[in-house]
Amino acid sequence: MESLIMFDLPIKGQELELVQGIVKKSEVLTLFDNSIDAGSILTYLKESKLHGTSCRALIDLNVLKDILTVGRSGDGAKLAGRRTFGAAFVLFCQCANIMIDPSIAIHESPSDASSELQLFYSLDSADPLELFRVVSGEVGYLRNECLPKIEPKIYPETWPERIRNHSSLELSVLKIATLQRSSMKPLEKIMSFLTWCHTDAARLMDAFILAIFQLQGNQSKPILKNVGPGSSKVRRGIDNAVWDLQMARNWVNNVRRQPKENCLWALASRDEGLVRLARQIHCEEGSEVAQVRGLIKKVWGDSSAETICDLFFQLVSREDDPSRRCNKTGFEAHCELMRERLLKELSLG
C-alpha cells in the first residue's frame, strides 16, 4: 500500500486495504493481459497517471444487482454479503478512477431500467466515506438521504448499437440447445450445427465458439445450462447464455479498441464460463484461422478436430454462395419461422 501514498485517495491505510482485499479475493475483475494485476487499484492509477489512459469496467447483471443492494433495505446474511461486495466494488472503482459501464446488464433486465439506472448512478457518485460504512458493517445500507440525486447520464433506449446481432445469437443458442437434447454423438452435433449455420442461418464466430465448448459435452461450468427435457429453467438458461455471449462480444470489441482510444477495459464478472468464453472470442485480426484451429484441437482432440476443421473452413470458403438462406431475400422472415420451430421443439413455443 506504500506505493499508493502518492495518490490523493478518499480512503487510506487499513480501509483501503480492506476494500482492495474484498475485490481482489472475489476475482471479479478480468483484463485481457493476464500479466496485469486486475485486482490492484495501483494498476489503474498507473495507467491513468503515466499514459493518460481512461479505465472502464463492463459489469454483468450479477455485479449490477450487488451494487443496487447497497441502496436497498432488507435483511439476511446473503444480502449483507452482496451489499459488502457491492459497496467495496464501487469504492474500489472510485479509488482507481474506473468508470463503471452497466449498459449490457441494464438491457438484460429492462423492466425497471430507468429506476435502476437512477439508483446505480446515485450509488456510483456516493460519498466514499458513506460507502465504507457499508463495507465495514457500520450501516446495513445507504438510505436515500445519504445518496446524491443524480439523473442517469444515459437511458437504455440510447444504446441500440450495443445490442447488435442479439436475435441471431438467440437463434444460434436455441439450435445448440436442441442439439444438446438430441441423441446424436458429440461430433455429429457439432457437424450438424456447422451445416445448419451454413444452410439455414449465418455464421457467427461467437456462437460457433460457444458450440465448440457446449456440444463437446464434457466441459465444466458451461455457459448454456438447464436445457434438458423437463427442466423448468430452459427459457432462463437460454436467455442467460445469449446475454453472456452479448457481454463477451461487447467486452472483446472494447478490448480491440483499447490502443486507438487509450482506454483500458476490465470485465467485471464472477462467471468463470463467461470469462473463458470472452477470452476465446478475442481473435486478433488476421489470425482467426490459427485461433480457431487451435481452440478446436484443444477442446476436441486431434482426430475430431481435423474433421471439424475440414468442414468449418470448407463452409467458410463458400460464405458467398447465393444458395445460402442468408444470401437470399426474405432471410429475416425465414429466421423468425425457424425461431418458432426451435422454440416448439424445446416446448417453449
pLDDT of residue 8: 81
> What digits encode the pLDDT tens for the residues 270-300?
999 899 888 888 754 445 667 788 889 999 9
Closest CA to 31 of 11, 53, 13, 12: 53
Stretch 112-141: mean pLDDT, rounded?
Answer: 92
pLDDT exceeds cutoff 70 at 349: no
Rounded distance, CA 93 to CA 112, Å?
24
User: Do 209 and 188 belong to one domain?
Assistant: yes
pLDDT exceeds cutoff 70 at 154: no
pLDDT of residue 259: 92
User: Do 278 and 184 belong to one domain?
Assistant: yes
Q: Is position 36 within any domain?
A: yes
Q: Is position 266 within any domain?
A: no
User: Do 191 and 59 belong to one domain?
Assistant: no
Which residue, of 140, 162, 184, is where some domain finishes?
Answer: 162
Half-sphere exposure of 344 (CA within 13 A, CB side): 6
User: Do 171 and 300 belong to one domain?
Assistant: yes
User: Do 179 and 217 belong to one domain?
Assistant: yes
Stretch 40-64: mean pLDDT, rounded?
Answer: 94
- 153 in helix, strand or coil? coil
Phi, psi of 56 (to 5 degrees): -135, 155
Contact 194, 315 (CB under 8 A): yes
Contact 189, 203 (CB under 8 A): no
Phi, psi of 54 (to 5 degrees): -85, 145
pLDDT exceeds cutoff 90 at 222: no
User: Do 168 and 299 belong to one domain?
Assistant: yes
Residues of the domain holding 105:
8-162
Q: Which residue would you say has higher pLDDT here, 111 or 317?
A: 317
Rounded distance, CA 150 to CA 127, Å?
13
Which residue, of 162, 183, 211, is where some domain finishes?
Answer: 162
pLDDT of residue 114: 80
Q: In this structure, what is the dihedral angle of CA atoms 62, 65, 67, 73, given to the nearest 10 degrees? A: -150
User: Do 26 and 88 belong to one domain?
Assistant: yes
Which residue, of 162, 178, 205, is where some domain finishes?
Answer: 162
The Cα-based distances of 65 to 19, 59, 116, 173 in angstroms read 18, 10, 9, 25
Give the number of domains in the chain: 2
User: Do 330 and 202 belong to one domain?
Assistant: yes
Rounded distance, CA 186 to CA 70, Å?
45
Q: Is position 331 within any domain?
A: yes
Rounded distance, CA 41 to CA 325, Å?
50
- List the grid coordinates of 95: 479509488
Task: Show Cβ contacts of residue 64 under 8 Å, excluding neighbours closer than 6 positions.
Answer: 102, 105, 106, 109, 116, 120
Greatest CA separation for the chain: 67
Stretch 1-17: mean pLDDT, rounded?
Answer: 80
List strands edge to edge, sheet with 29-30: 29-30, 263-268, 54-59, 98-101
pLDDT of residue 157: 47
Q: Considering Cα of 257, then 258, then 264, then 268, what sign does the dihedral take?
A: positive
> What digits encode the pLDDT tens for the residues 227-278?
888 777 899 999 999 999 999 989 999 999 999 999 999 999 999 989 988 8
pLDDT exceeds cutoff 60 at 185: yes
pLDDT of residue 5: 64
User: Do 41 and 175 belong to one domain?
Assistant: no
User: Do 101 and 232 belong to one domain?
Assistant: no
Q: Is position 215 within any domain?
A: yes
Q: Is position 67 within any domain?
A: yes
Q: Is position 265 within any domain?
A: no
pLDDT exceeds cutoff 80 at 132: yes
pLDDT exceeds cutoff 50 at 214: yes
In sequence order, what are the beta bridge partners of 263? 54
pLDDT exceeds cutoff 50 at 141: yes
Contact 101, 58 (CB under 8 A): yes
User: Do 131 and 206 belong to one domain?
Assistant: no
Closest CA to 172 of 117, 124, 238: 238
Rounded distance, CA 69 to CA 151, Å?
19
Contact 103, 154 (CB under 8 A): yes
Task: Show Cβ contacts of residue 182 under 8 Å, excluding neighbours closer than 6 positions.
Answer: 189
Confidence band, pLDDT 50/70/90 cuts, at residue 36: very high
Q: Is position 286 within any domain?
A: yes
Phi, psi of 121 (to 5 degrees): -65, -30
Q: Is position 204 within any domain?
A: yes
Contact 41, 20 (CB under 8 A): yes
User: Do 177 and 228 belong to one domain?
Assistant: yes
